[in-house]
Amino acid sequence: MLRQNGLSCQSSCKIDLRISAKRMGLLNKVEVLKGRKRGSKRDPEANKQLLIEATLDTIADIGVTDTSVSRICERSGLSRGMIHLHFGGKDNLLTAAAQHFSAQYYAEMDRMTDLGSDASPEDRVMAVIEADLSEALLNPRSTKIWHAFRGIASSHPGIARYSSTQDHKLVETLRLAFKEITQENVRDSILVDDATAGTLALLEGMWVNYLTDMQGFSRRRSVDLIRRFLCGLFPGKFKL
């Protein structure tokens, strides 16, 4: 929107129009989002969020490689100095974006798997799987961002911290559920570990399938596939 305004008017008024358009449009939106008191035109915390969101959107749109400071600021409608001001540099912003993205994922995952405490372990496992493959978590934007971050994680320690599914509450949720399922058969603790790791691995694979071919991807079939594998691991459980 900003760019369109800038391009469509003559050069003499370009700067004025861009500034006023930015000011009005974005700040009003921010005010609504954050509930900031009316008339205030400054809100550092909201701008930090704006930058993080713009970073994620830019990565999803044009890829990490082409995500530059200028591009992020352009999209957020804020000035170029803002990144250094609030984050101290591009790298820190990227790390903050990865953290925010990860936190958002787990928050939404928690929300979607908040079954009653009387839910069977099978239902809890399936809830995790269905949540992970739901449109809220698995969509074009999130897959692109997720894999982009993972792709640069090994050369970017700050991001690596948020590129793993393996060290979160989610793992314990699954492990506990599988433990309950096998409780009569306690001798086999490796089964629980394998079921947990295997389920997460299958989900990873599904995300890759989605990234590779979004058209041909079917959430239902993917859920059924994983259920089928779990049904094999725990005969009698996870029946359709």
Partner DNA sequence: GTCACTAATGGACGATCGTCCATTAAATGT
Partner DNA sequence: ACATTTAATGGACGATCGTCCATTAGTGAC
Instruction: Report if residue 25 touches a second copy, rule: CB under 8 A.
Output: no
Radius of gyration for the chain, computed over Cα atoms and rounded to the nearest angstrom: 22
Q: Closer to DNA at the Cβ: 30 or 200?
A: 30
Binding flags for a second copy, 118-147, as an x/- string (CB under 8 A): -------------------------xx--x
Alpha helices in the chain (DSSP H): 2-8, 14-34, 44-62, 69-76, 81-87, 90-112, 121-132, 140-153, 157-160, 169-181, 189-212, 219-233
Distance, CA of 59 to CA of 200 (rounded, Å): 25
Alpha helices in 154-188 (DSSP H): 157-160, 169-181
195, 230 contact by CB (below 8 A): yes
Interaction residues for a second copy, span 198-237 (CB under 8 A): 198, 200-206, 208-209, 211-213, 224-226, 228-229, 231-235
Helix 44-62 and helix 140-153, axial crossing angle in degrees, nearest 10: 90
DSSP letter at 11 equals: G
Q: Could you tell me the smallest distance in angstroms from the CB atom of residue 181 to a second copy? A: 13
Q: Could you tell me the smallest distance in angstroms from the CB atom of residue 111 to a second copy? A: 24
Q: Which residue has the tokens 């200028």?
A: 70
Instruction: Report if residue 38 touches DNA, rule: CB under 7 A.
Output: no
Q: Could you tell me the smallest distance in angstroms from the CB atom of residue 51 to a second copy? A: 19
Q: Which residues bind a second copy (CB under 8 A)?
A: 62-66, 143-144, 147-156, 160, 163-164, 166, 191, 194, 197-198, 200-206, 208-209, 211-213, 224-226, 228-229, 231-235
- For DNA, the binding residues (CB under 7 A) are 15, 19, 22, 39-44, 47, 66-71, 78-86, 88-91
